[in-house]
Structure 1
Amino acid sequence: MFSSELSSGFKYMIEQVAPRFQEDVIRAFNNEGVRNALMHNKNHYNHKMDNILVSIGDTKIELSKLIFPWTPDFRIVNLTMNFSMLCLDVNLKLGDLRVKGDFEGYNITLQNLLPAILAGKIEQTFKDVVATGRIGFLIRGDSMVLTNYDIKYEPSETDISVKYYASNGSEVETKRTKQNSEKDSLRDAVWVELSDILTRLLHSQLGEVLVERSLTELLLGEDENLRDLAREHSQRANKLLDTLLCTAKDYIVDKNYRLIETPLINAAFKEKPSGLSQGAFQTGYGFIKDLSTLSRVQDLSLYEDKQRLVVYGSLTLREFKHGYDHYSCSFEDIVTAGQVKATVYNNKIFVKVTLLKEGERCKTQLDNIRVSTIRDIDVDASRLASLIWLAPRVERWVIGNLRHIAVPVLEKHITEAFNYAIGKTDCVSLLINY
């Protein structure tokens, strides 16, 4: 084991207090869930989601006015407090989760012949969702603060239902079921943001419960043992990730990855859904910068057993700019051109590095790089002139394109840099000599 062992006496004390503490946390968690549900249902609370732009060949689909219209019921299958690894192991059932909104679909080739857009309502139901994984906590003052979420949400299958009006005025409704093994761009795009919403809701419910518990009272005044272990875990995890991050950033600079190219936007629109005139909005290739500002802003978590040691937590881009140096927009006899700039003020990039213990040798691998959070985005489009009424749509297109099309490009470049860093770093020595 790389991390220190707790003394037998302290282990025994934890074994005595842990079951009662877990029961207390579970009871308070369930009560908090009931309170949240009553409050949100009374206020008819909806979680608004960003627009989604999906391109499949020359077919374009836009989902808009998306909402997740309720607070899920987190039902505990298992919740185990692992004091020696400063984490909670969780297994939760969330039931069926529904996201609904509007859709527009069109084909670029068809657009050149006929200005036709198919529009209607869409509803996606994620069936029997479960959440499994672990949540690392940090000790702040006399509290345990849930910080690093290594949680995977997974539905059993997904029902997709759409409604639209046919040319004869009759309403058409179709429905299909997608298995997890099937690729589906629309489902996957919705799932990314929904997972972030679920983590925030889980943190609000579980984090509030845990932070109110006094560590000193729980451990009968023997909490300094756990504090020492927490400091050791943070120092080991932070040193490993900081070293990898430094090498990865050098690679980013050497490869001229501070600014990376992202896919373009090609969208069609009408001033009103019932309007006859149709416009077009197109950009050149976009960009994301500055990847060299990738930073750690909080302590990471460490988990270890006989087979592996895992370091996990979140990084952030201190400067996250996105945009397009050129766009063109045409509607009726109006033609405009300009630039689009966006700034992301709140972002988290989840990273997970695993050291596999294989006999006398150890193998280090990058298990996950994932942009888990993108929020608080400011978008500015220049020179819209008389098409200024289009500004809210441009903002939604840019954010939708960023979240679901540009972000995978960002993840790819960061993954490449970290894989390079792992290949150049003696991770075992860093963990031993922390």
Structure 2
Amino acid sequence: MEVFEVRDPDIVQALQWTKETVETMITRAFTNAAVRRSIWSDTPNKQHSLSDVFFTVKDDTHVELTNVKLLREPDFRFTSINSCLESFFLAANIDIGDLEVTADFYVNNSALDYVLPLATSGQVTITFKNVKAEGPIGVYPIEDCFLTKNYSLCYKPENTTIKTVHKDNEGEATVELGVDSTANLFKDETLGSHLWMDLTHLLTKLLKMELDEVLCELSASDLLQGESDYVDGTIEHSNAVNVVTNDIFDKIIANANNRINELNLSTIPGPDIDASFKKKLATVVTTGHFTARNGTFQNMASLARKGDVSIAIEDGKFVIFGRVGLTELKISYDHYTAKLMDVGPTGKIQTTVGRNEALFKFILEKTDQKVKIRLADFKITDISEIEAHVTGLGGLNWLTSKISSWIASILRWKVAPLVEVNVKENVNKVLENFDVNSLLKK
């Protein structure tokens, strides 16, 4: 498509000549970094904190993970990379190896609390075996280098193992469970599935930091034969492509927002919360219960683009992809009850969400001299910095942080899939009559 093509043949050739240099530099830099880590494996490795996890199994068993940590820096190794700077993207296949996450766990069966209180706590280790990532990474020229901006990577582990250590009547007990297939990770309510959004968001963040550092070492003017005019021309073309792709994104999003508003779909019911918590009173550990009802999630009609959009070529077709977010993401509950020893407060909850992000991916297909656009994917990739504002807690005010983490897990595990389905449905309806050809001719 002409709008995405560099017009100056000299710049095209210069960009194509950078291919081997860029690919070799990236592959070597990440391999050397991994080797350095292995040589210094006896030194303390940097750990990364992840969000707490809470979910309910079969309506009455509450599972909570706290103090969640990724135990080591991931070793990104590019097994293959295709540099296409004339189209401003890198196509990458990355081997990350095993990722080990540890956490403290607490499991309570609320249905039995009034008959025979049962709760288990201990430590758990979740190991994601042989993790790989694949997909396009958007790049852009700035001043005298290239940097990355959008990542459309699919992360997949080969399998997952879960090991718990807890106290039983005979002392310390260790149990290990293997989850054989990747499909189980995403379809079943496994511990790994509840960690996956936060973990992959962290992986992308760490990869971007390392990859940008490597790319910054490559001078754009040196790559382009020392010709400053070539650098200026590349930046000018990149800006022109951004105008078109950003316009396509913005118009699709605006139409989707309008449709969601017109159909009164901007607000949906929020899932109920049923959770257990423990508190030591004198020498006795007591289990408390928390419920929240009449939840409301909003606003699905507040989609907005975050940063410039990227382009890539997959299977001979142009792909445009970029980040969006909900500018008014809130969830509230009209009524909650917190009880400890059958006594406790009631009130309301308002929640603010500091960060949320999703990836939009569209495919452009040319048929009969016309271009059609279709939705390839919409996936929420980050919901974080969540703070609950709770009325009436009084002496149980220390529960606020737990309520925030419970709501965060509800948003990631239960609300996010509903939002994805609703947004996809409305965007697909918008695209049925969307004229992308007029935008591509600008």
Per-residue CA distance 1:228-263 (angstroms, 9 max, x = gap): 331232122112111111100101211223332221
Q: CA deviation at 1:295?
A: 1.0
Per-residue CA distance 1:49-107 (angstroms, 9 max, x = gap): 11222233223322222111110111121123211210111111111111111222333
Residues 94 and 308 (structure 1), Cα distance of their counterparts in 2 relative to 1, 3 Å cut? same
What are the residue-to-residue correspondences of 1:138-149 with 2, within 5 Å?
138-149=140-151
- After superposing the two structures, state which structure 1 stretch, 147-156 or 257-266, moved more: 257-266
* Identical pairs, percent: 27
Q: 2:111 aligns with which of 109, 123, 133?
A: 109
Aligned length: 433
One-letter amino acid of the counterpart of residue 409, structure 1: L
Residues 38 and 198 (structure 1), Cα distance of their counterparts in 2 relative to 1, 3 Å cut? farther
| 2:54 and 2:405 in contact (8 A); partners too | no
SS at the partner of 1:334? Answer: coil
| 1:339 and 1:381 in contact (8 A); partners too | yes
Partner of 1:27: 28
| 2:144 and 2:231 in contact (8 A); partners too | no
One-letter amino acid of the counterpart of residue 57, structure 2: I
Per-residue CA distance 1:314-373 (angstroms, 9 max, x = gap): 012223222322211000142111122221222221111112345666553212111212
One-letter amino acid of the counterpart of residue 327, structure 1: Y
Partner of 1:55: 56
| 1:33 and 1:205 in contact (8 A); partners too | no
| 2:388 and 2:400 in contact (8 A); partners too | no
One-letter amino acid of the counterpart of residue 331, structure 2: H
Mapped to 2, the partners of 1:249 and 1:305 lie a distance apart of: 28
One-letter amino acid of the counterpart of residue 235, structure 1: V
Mapped to 2, the partners of 1:429 and 1:295 lie a distance apart of: 22
Mapped to 2, the partners of 1:141 and 1:348 lie a distance apart of: 27
Q: Structure 1 residue 229 and structure 2 residue 237: aligned?
A: yes
Partner of 2:135: 133
For normalisation by structure 2, the TM-score amounts to 0.89
Partner of 2:258: 250
SS at the partner of 2:115? Answer: coil
| 2:52 and 2:405 in contact (8 A); partners too | yes
Q: CA deviation at 1:197?
A: 0.6
Mapped to 2, the partners of 1:260 and 1:211 lie a distance apart of: 45
One-letter amino acid of the counterpart of residue 56, structure 1: V
Question: RMSD across aligned C-alpha pairs, in angstroms?
Answer: 2.7
Q: Structure 1 residue 410 and structure 2 residue 419: aligned?
A: yes
Q: CA deviation at 1:306?
A: 7.0
| 1:307 and 1:357 in contact (8 A); partners too | no
What are the residue-to-residue correspondences of 1:10-89 with 2, within 5 Å?
10-31=11-32, 44-58=45-59, 59-89=61-91
Q: 1:197 aligns with which of 202, 205, 211?
A: 202
Q: Structure 1 residue 211 and structure 2 residue 216: aligned?
A: yes
Where does the alignment leave 5 or more consecutive residues of structure 2 unmatched?
none
Q: 1:91 aligns with which of 84, 90, 93?
A: 93
Residues 17 and 367 (structure 1), Cα distance of their counterparts in 2 relative to 1, 3 Å cut? closer
One-letter amino acid of the counterpart of residue 239, structure 2: R
Mapped to 2, the partners of 1:23 and 1:187 lie a distance apart of: 34
- After superposing the two structures, state which structure 1 stretch, 380-389 or 297-306, moved more: 297-306
Partner of 2:180: 178
- After superposing the two structures, state which structure 1 stretch, 24-33 or 344-353, moved more: 24-33
One-letter amino acid of the counterpart of residue 338, structure 1: G
Q: CA deviation at 1:181?
A: 2.5
One-letter amino acid of the counterpart of residue 16, structure 2: E
Partner of 1:156: 158
Mapped to 1, the partners of 2:127 and 2:35 lie a distance apart of: 23
Mapped to 2, the partners of 1:416 and 1:110 lie a distance apart of: 41
| 1:32 and 1:205 in contact (8 A); partners too | no
Partner of 1:350: 359
SS at the partner of 1:292? Answer: coil
For normalisation by structure 1, the TM-score amounts to 0.91
